Amino acid sequence: MRMIRRRNVVAAVAAGAAVAVLASACGSGGDDGAPTAGTTTADPQSAPPPTARGDRVVGTAVYARDLTATATALSSFAGALRTVDTPAELRQLIPGLTSDLDRLDSAIGRMARYTVDNARAEEQRERLVRTGPRLGDLLRRFIAAAEEGDGAGIQALVPQIRDAIGDFAASPGAP
C-alpha cells in the first residue's frame, strides 16, 4: 500500500474544485424553459401517469427536484474535498463523500426512470443519465484509492474524473 502524499491531497482538492464547477453547471438553465437547480415550475405531485412503455413523462418541477439533488450532492462532495489539508483528513471524510455519491446515484437513478415534457430539459436529463454513472464510478474509485492510501491511483484518476466532469457538464446547444 502506498501512502498518500501531500501532492496527492492537492490533486484531490483540484478534483474537488472541478466537481464544484460541475455542480454549478448542473444548476445552469436558461430562458428556454429548462429548469435550473432549485427552481420548480409545477407541483411535483401532478406528474402524468406512466406511458405505455412504462416511462413516466414528468413536468420540469420533478426534473428540477432531481437536478437540485444532483447539484447538492456534487457541491457537498466538492466542498468536503476543499477542506482537506492532509491524507488523514481525506480518509476521515470518506463516509460523508460516500454518502454524497449515494445521493448522486439516487438522483441519477430517478432521472433514468422518466422523461421530461420539455425538450431542452429532456436533452439535459438524457445527458446526465448517460454520463452520471461513469462519473459516480470514477469518484467512488477515487474514494477507494484514498481509503487504501493509493496516491498513484488517485493521480491516475484525476484526469479521468476531469474528463467525466466535462462530459457530465457539457450542455447540448450551449455556447
Walk along the chain (175 residues) and give the pLDDT tens digit of each residue: 344 444 444 445 455 555 544 444 444 344 444 454 444 433 434 344 443 333 789 999 999 999 999 999 999 999 998 888 888 888 899 999 999 999 999 999 999 999 999 999 999 999 999 999 999 999 999 999 988 988 888 889 999 999 999 888 885 533 3
CA atoms within 13 A on the CB side of 96: 15
Residue 154 belongs to a domain: yes
Residue 34 belongs to a domain: yes
Residue 125 belongs to a domain: yes
Residue 133 belongs to a domain: yes
**Stated pTM of the model:** 0.72
The rounded distance, in Å, linking the Cα atoms of 9 and 173 is: 35
The rounded distance, in Å, linking the Cα atoms of 109 and 112 is: 5
Tell me, what's the pLDDT at 90?
87
Residue 1 belongs to a domain: no
Residue 54 belongs to a domain: yes
Query: Do 138 and 157 form a contact (C-beta atoms < 8 A)?
Result: yes
Tell me, what's the pLDDT at 37?
47
User: How many CB atoms lie under 10 A from the CB of residue 52?
Assistant: 5
| Cross-strand bridge partners of residue 57 | 115
For 137, 148, 172, 175, the CA distances from 70, given in Å and listed in that order, are: 15, 27, 18, 23
Residue 45 belongs to a domain: no
Angle at 104 between CA 52 and CA 152, to 5 degrees: 130
Sign of the Cα pseudo-torsion (165, 136, 61, 27, in order): negative
Residue 43 belongs to a domain: no
DSSP code string of 95-150: HHHHHHHHHHHHHHHHHHTEEESSHHHHHHHHHHHHHHHHHHHHHHHHHHHHHHT-
User: How many CB atoms lie under 10 A from the CB of residue 78?
Assistant: 21
Tell me, what's the pLDDT at 18?
53
Quote the domain boundaries for residue 17. 6-38+50-169
Tell me, what's the pLDDT at 143?
93
Tell me, what's the pLDDT at 161?
93
* Number of independent structural domains in the chain: 1
Tell me, what's the pLDDT at 160?
94
